Chains A and B, each alone.
Chain A
Amino acid sequence: MNKQTGGGPLAVGYSLLFFAFLFGPLIIMVVTAFNSSSFPRITPWECFTTEWFGVLFGNSRLMGGLLNSVVIGFGVVCIAVPVGLAGALALSELGPRLRATLYTVLITPILVPGVVLGISTIVFWGAVGRGVGAGYDSLFFNGMFLTLAGQVTFVSAYAMLVFMARLQRFDPTLTEAALDLGATPGQAFRKILLPFLAPAIGSAAFLTLLASFENYNTTVFTIMSQSTFTTALASKVRLGTDPSLSALAVIIIGITLIGAMVNEAQTRRKDMLRSGRAAQSRVYGNPVLSVLVHPLSVFFLLIAIVGFLSWQGSQQDAGVCKQQILDGKRARQEELLEAQRERMKAQKAAEEATKPTVSTQPASPSAFGGAFNSLAPKAEPAPAESANPSPFGGAFNNLTPTTDD
């Protein structure tokens, strides 16, 4: 932390609070995946279980949606990355006025509500389909095709932003030099500009895949009667929740963390190799350690840990603990039932007891009196306490302290 520009305890404290807000909900959701309670919650904790993962994989609608999502995601990457690249290249060459107009047009799909994009897509392609006289089973009314069209519209803009950021750092004199040295324009493009853009192609592909996979607002309209992973997930969340969704979150967060760690190992290694200090470094200079921190070995190590944990998890059986919880619940229910029965009895007795009081017979209020008194000998013969509405109140309280529930 740099003190001169506002570092200090306040900044640290605020950052910690902020990241607690960012990670807290996710951590809690992850923990609920292992609670056997059928509603996702932490309190009260019942049993540690891994059965929700089984429930998750048994959900055929989600798994079918997953397949659709993968197909759509692949298609979107294949189309949106070249389209985004074309957009970025076009913007880099246009004059300032044309450029501003085109930029505004191309950036609007990001800002327009996804709902609007989805609606306009199905309406437009539906009109085209009717125009060419195609039936409802044709391409123009197919959920997969419409989703592809709707998602490419705005996902391409994300890809374009990635390419624009990279192009800003491109030195155009490189292309000019290649042309001067006798390369054809096409060669210059393939040998100079494309290799320069290669890293951006990778990150654009990743970003577009993620955006396509996650998208809900547009997809829920364009997918028609089919479902993708995200729309299936949303309808499940809306209809009723169980911790199998938390189990899904565990899997996704796990994949994310592995990806982040491998990526971090990769960047560090690259930085170190580029700086040329790798040989002096304590970690990278050591032959064993340098193999260990190679991104690939980090990846396999993490995979091995995950594999071991899931094997352990699959062996785990929460049956005994769940039976205990069930027994506990049953016992509690019995107890409550019993208590209620007694209370009703007492009420009846009290009603009977009031009659004799009216007819001034205080000595022996009812036949029950003696029996209960023998259980709780300290209690006075009932009608002595006029304050208590039920003459046997004290006696019952001793027996079942939880009658109030």
Chain B
Amino acid sequence: MGALQASFTSFTNKHGLGVACFIGLTVFFWVVFLIVLPQLAMVDFSFRYNLPQSQIGGANDVYTLDNYAYFFQGNDGTINTLDIGILVKTLVAALIVTLIDIAICYPIAFILAHSATGVAARLMVIGLIVPFWVNEILRAFAFRVLFGATGLVNGIGMNMGLWDVPIDFIRADVALYSGLVYAYILLMIFPIFNAVEALDRNQIEAARDMGASWWRVHWRVVLPIAKPGIASGATMVFMLTAGALAAPQILGGPSNLWFTQLIYQWFNQSANWQRGSAYAVILLLVCIGFVMMMMRVFKVSIGEIGR
């Protein structure tokens, strides 16, 4: 509390009382009413029964673990392999997408930071940003056009005689993975770029002069510098991929659900908001836990994210 008061006084001295009040009230409103209380309300809600409107707040409105129990055991007490399987599949897929993004973005970020110069570098930056001004839904739609049964990839492949029957890329999740990799490229490139840009070029040249191979230069000199950037980009890409809803809805196969789609179904098709909230809490906890674990493994802190 003392620290808060001290900083408020420093604000008042520096920017005036009006500004200090504006900052204090706005940040308080943001933190309390937009971030913390809604999350708490969701957690609270997830421990309640799905009651009809008239009984809410009545005698039957008590806390229960039912919604979480359903995720683990289903209705009949056996292990709910379907939902757990979907969660695991979502996490594994998000991890794969993140790894692919690291692999294709690291070289581009390095080229952008150290090899490209002048007009080429400017064109590259514009070329990176422009595709991401296009709506997320339309980007997913573009992949559907590309990979559909009568899409371009099938058309070319069949014309060249590589295969005779249209391949169902949608069912095989090829379209989904490409769409997700595409969707978050920018979030991976810019953190890595920011980190790699800080590297002194002389270090690379010195390593080259001493006879290090390119592979060794990247492993020993560039990667250690790029690590915080990669961690920050990977965190964002992983969280957003695991929480993606539009791309799986548009590009996912019919029998192949994403965990967010499961939540969506509880809300919009089964009208069971409580269970949907419980699933949302599970998704949130699992994602945060996974990211924390990865950060512990790679020794980076959350303060470095978003820079």
A100 touches B303 (CB 8 A): yes
B30 touches A111 (CB 8 A): no
Contact residues of A between 112 and 127, Cβ < 8 Å to B: 112-117, 119-121, 123-125, 127
Is A253's beta carbon under 8 Å from chain B?
yes
A185 touches B152 (CB 8 A): no
Is B72's beta carbon under 8 Å from chain A?
no
Is A234's beta carbon under 8 Å from chain B?
yes
Residue interface bits A151-190, CB-to-B below 8 A is 1, else 0: 0110010000100000000000001000100001111110
Bound-complex Cα distance A245 to B140 (A): 11
- Residues of B near A214 (CB, < 8 A) are 135-136
Bound-complex Cα distance A29 to B145 (A): 7
Which of B63-71, B76-84, B106-114, B223-231 sits within the interface? B106-114
* Dominant SS among interface residues on chain A: helix
CB proximity of A231 to chain B, nearest CB, Å: 9
Is A283's beta carbon under 8 Å from chain B?
no
CB proximity of B220 to chain A, nearest CB, Å: 15
- Residues of B near A87 (CB, < 8 A) are 26-27, 30
Which of A89-97, A293-301, A343-351 sits within the interface? A89-97
A114 touches B249 (CB 8 A): no
| B127 nearest in chain A by CB position | A19
A253 touches B284 (CB 8 A): no
Given contacts A28-B145, A185-B13, A241-B141, contact A22 B201 (CB under 8 A): no
Is A138's beta carbon under 8 Å from chain B?
no
A26 touches B110 (CB 8 A): no
- Residues of B near A1 (CB, < 8 A) are 115-117, 120
- Out of A11, A21, A113, A188, name the residue touching B182 (CB < 8 Å): A21
Bound-complex Cα distance A121 to B135 (A): 23
Given contacts A217-B243, A237-B250, A264-B126, contact A29 B138 (CB under 8 A): yes
- Out of A4, A42, A106, A175, name the residue touching B152 (CB < 8 Å): A42
Is B305's beta carbon under 8 Å from chain A?
yes
CB proximity of A26 to chain B, nearest CB, Å: 6
Contact residues of A between 1 and 52, Cβ < 8 Å to B: 1-2, 4-8, 11, 14-15, 18-19, 21-26, 28-29, 32, 39-43
**Interface bin, chain B:** 35 or more
- Residues of A near B27 (CB, < 8 A) are 83, 86-87, 90, 102
Is B35's beta carbon under 8 Å from chain A?
yes
B204 touches A5 (CB 8 A): yes
- Residues of A near B137 (CB, < 8 A) are 216, 230, 233-234, 237
Is A104's beta carbon under 8 Å from chain B?
yes
A42 touches B127 (CB 8 A): no
Bound-complex Cα distance A115 to B204 (A): 44
Contact residues of B between 239 and 258, Cβ < 8 Å to A: 239-240, 242-246, 249-250
| B301 nearest in chain A by CB position | A100
- Residues of A near B246 (CB, < 8 A) are 216-217, 234
A5 touches B114 (CB 8 A): yes
A217 touches B16 (CB 8 A): no
Given contacts A95-B7, A234-B246, contact A116 B138 (CB under 8 A): no
CB proximity of A25 to chain B, nearest CB, Å: 4
B245 touches A89 (CB 8 A): no
A252 touches B135 (CB 8 A): yes
Contact residues of B between 122 and 161, Cβ < 8 Å to A: 122, 124, 126-131, 133-146, 148, 150-152, 155-156, 159
Is A238's beta carbon under 8 Å from chain B?
yes
A130 touches B42 (CB 8 A): no
Is A320's beta carbon under 8 Å from chain B?
no
Bound-complex Cα distance A5 to B22 (A): 49
A127 touches B41 (CB 8 A): yes
- Out of B35, B116, B260, name the residue touching A108 (CB < 8 Å): B35
- Residues of B near A161 (CB, < 8 A) are 306
Given contacts A25-B142, A237-B137, A237-B140, contact A15 B182 (CB under 8 A): no
CB proximity of B306 to chain A, nearest CB, Å: 5
B131 touches A26 (CB 8 A): yes
- Out of B117, B138, B155, B260, name the residue touching A217 (CB < 8 Å): B260
Is B192's beta carbon under 8 Å from chain A?
no
B134 touches A103 (CB 8 A): no
- Residues of A near B243 (CB, < 8 A) are 112-116, 217
| B126 nearest in chain A by CB position | A260
Given contacts A186-B18, A252-B138, contact A6 B126 (CB under 8 A): no
Is A212's beta carbon under 8 Å from chain B?
no
- Out of B19, B41, B104, B240, name the residue touching A18 (CB < 8 Å): B104
Contact residues of B between 204 and 246, Cβ < 8 Å to A: 204-205, 208, 214, 235-236, 239-240, 242-246
Bound-complex Cα distance A8 to B155 (A): 34
- Residues of B near A29 (CB, < 8 A) are 138, 141-142, 145
Can you give 24 A-B contacts (C-beta < 8 A)?
A: A4-B205, A4-B208, A6-B114, A19-B127, A22-B127, A25-B182, A89-B15, A89-B23, A93-B11, A95-B6, A98-B3, A98-B4, A104-B302, A109-B34, A113-B240, A116-B42, A119-B277, A121-B38, A123-B277, A153-B30, A179-B14, A188-B16, A252-B133, A252-B138
Q: Nearest 6 CB-CB pairs, A to B?
A: A113-B243, A186-B16, A185-B16, A120-B38, A43-B155, A86-B26
- Listed in ascending order, the chain B residues whose CB lies under 8 Å from chain A are 3-4, 6-7, 10-19, 22-24, 26-27, 29-31, 34-39, 41-42, 45, 56-57, 104, 107-108, 110-111, 114-117, 120, 122, 124, 126-131, 133-146, 148, 150-152, 155-156, 159, 182, 185, 201, 204-205, 208, 214, 235-236, 239-240, 242-246, 249-250, 260, 263-264, 267, 273, 276-277, 280-281, 283-284, 287, 291, 302-303, 305-306
